[in-house]
Structure 1
Amino acid sequence: MDEPVGGLRRVPLRTVEVARESGYSVQQVRDLERLGVIPPATRSSNGYRSYTPLHVQALRAYRGLAGATGPVAARQLLAGLRTGTLAEAASAVGAVHVRLAREREEALDAQQALRAIQSEVDGHGYEPAGDAMTITQLAEALDVRPSTLRFWEQEGLVTPERVTSLQVRRYGPAAIGAARIVAALRGAGYGIPAVREIMTSLHRLDGLEKAALILHQRLGQIAARTVALLRAGADLAAVVTSVQEARPSSGD
């Protein structure tokens, strides 16, 4: 008899066992197999599916990735991990960590901009620090396209300063702060009408409190997504390692 490995028999595993160990339902296991999240199960002569512990680890990895990046991106990433090299797999997972860190930094920058507005509302006469930026510089800082900033301008969300007869846009500290808040709100999933309402209300106490709460929740969501990715780490490593071990050596 095969010895248990990590609480699971080596082979074979029935669908119900995979479901129990991965935390998904039997139907979800079948659906995720159909979507390519896990490799196809082998079929016995009577048609029953047969899985291995690697299928369980792939499902656990998918759960963490889906929590960190969303289900569609998680499926794409897992597919890439199974076909790419070890370096490519490590780079792909590392990119998710970098993206989450960037989102956190953007939310913190938005909080700082909000504090500057709070100081102004409180009558402290606080002027946000920083130099003016061109539209290209601000777009790069926010990781958006210049066309996005122009759209926000059209929607009345961020108002740049204009210089020269060519109407070249330059954004002062106040506009940069507003753009950071808009970027964070959009990243949190708020539509343009909701963002406009929040930005319009920022010089009122209730508007400041609402924006502060949204940014606080945003940071909490990013933290939860980061933890989900960390929890998936060991299972992701197992999936990547198994793929590399299954490949023939380049020296063969």
Structure 2
Amino acid sequence: MGKKLQSTDRLRPVDLARGHGLSTQAVRNYEEAGILPAAARTPHGYRTYTPLHDSALRAFLALLPGHGHPTATAIMRAVNESKPDEAFRLIDESHAQLLEDRRTLRDVESALRDLDPGSAGPTEPGGTFIGPLARRLGIRPATLRAWEDAGLVRPRRDPRTGYRVYDEAAVRDARLTHQLRRGGSPLERIAPLIAHVRAAGGLAPLEAALAEWHGRLAARGRAMLAGAAELEEYLRARG
């Protein structure tokens, strides 16, 4: 790639932009952000780009789907500042986050698979108090209070007595937390799982969303591979 970069190879901003379906303003913004190396200037002050800039832009656009805009920008800026170790560190962090997301998905699937539908017993129409729920789960009330402090379970308070009342959603979260704790998951790792359940609207909708979740993680993984290939081409072009 580097051998093709002849002195006569010059690209106008519009040429570089059109080649990637972008506006010339976007190209200028990318240069100002450090995503592209600084462009040369004509005697009249016009920017001129080279195939090296084209390679940089292809690398950045390929990095975007897998790493997101802030990280992809930071990676390219590090490379252009001749700090490859920083770029590699950022890439490693993205892969670590993807791995953590895969573990989260695995834990959710495992918990749903092993969850005993009758483990917490029926929920009373008005809700369940902390003592009965703790006995049904085989834990201490203090454990439920600790889960509440961690944001994993959200009982409401009886307006007259101030007692905790666990409705159907709170019982669901307590059961799922209990199952995940039995599997060895720490509280800080359970929090995003419970958040996924709440966002999905419950366990049944979450089960239906698992395939889509798998697809998103697979797409991110493949996007990271594509981004790595283009970044390697850019690193080679830089020499």
Number of the residue aligned with 1:211: 206
Q: Which runs of 5+ in 2 are unaligned?
A: 120-145, 156-169
Question: Which is worse superposed, 48-57 or 86-95?
Answer: 86-95
Report the counterpart of residue 46 of structure 1 in structure 2.
44
Q: Give the structure 1 partner of residue 107 of structure 2.
A: 109
Structure 2 letter corresponding to 1:79 = R
**1:195-249: CA deviations, max 9, x gaps?**
2673xx33xxxxx1x1023232222112112212211223212333455x4xxxx
SS at match of 2:19: helix
Q: Is the 8 A contact 1:12 1:51 kept in 2?
A: yes
Q: CA RMSD in A?
A: 4.2
The match for 1:121 among 93, 117, 122 is: 117
- Aligned partner of 2:163 in structure 1 is none
Which segments of 5 or more consecutive residues in structure 1 lack a partner in the other structure? 124-145, 161-170, 203-207, 246-252
Q: What secondary structure is seen at the aligned counterpart in 1 of 2:152?
A: helix
Summarize the Cα distance change of 1:84–1:235 in structure 2 as closer, same or farther, 3 Å threshold.
same
Q: Secondary structure in 1 aligned to 2:29?
A: helix
- Find the counterpart in structure 2 of residue 22 from structure 1: 20
Aligned counterparts of 1:180 and 1:122: Cα–Cα separation in 2: 25
Asked if 1:151 corresponds to 2:154, the answer is no
Asked whether 1:234 is paired with 2:232, we answer no
Q: Following superposition of structure 1 onto structure 2, how do residues 1-252 of structure 1 map, counting pairs within 5 Å?
A: 5=4, 11-117=9-115, 120-121=116-117, 150-153=150-153, 158-159=173-174, 172-173=181-182, 176=185, 183-184=192-193, 186=195, 195=198, 198=201, 201-202=202-203, 208=204, 210-242=205-237, 245=239
User: For the structure 1 residues 236 and 27, does the alpha-carbon distance in structure 2 shift closer, same or farther, using more than 3 Å as the test?
Assistant: same
TM-score by length of 1: 0.60
Report deviation, 1:16.
Answer: 2.2
Change over 3 Å in CA distance of 1:96–1:196 after alignment to 2: closer
Aligned in 2, Cα 1:197/1:98: closer, same or farther, shift over 3 Å? closer
Structure 2 distance, partners of 1:110, 1:122, is: 18
TM-score, length basis structure 2: 0.63
Partners of 1:121 and 1:179 in 2: how far apart? 25
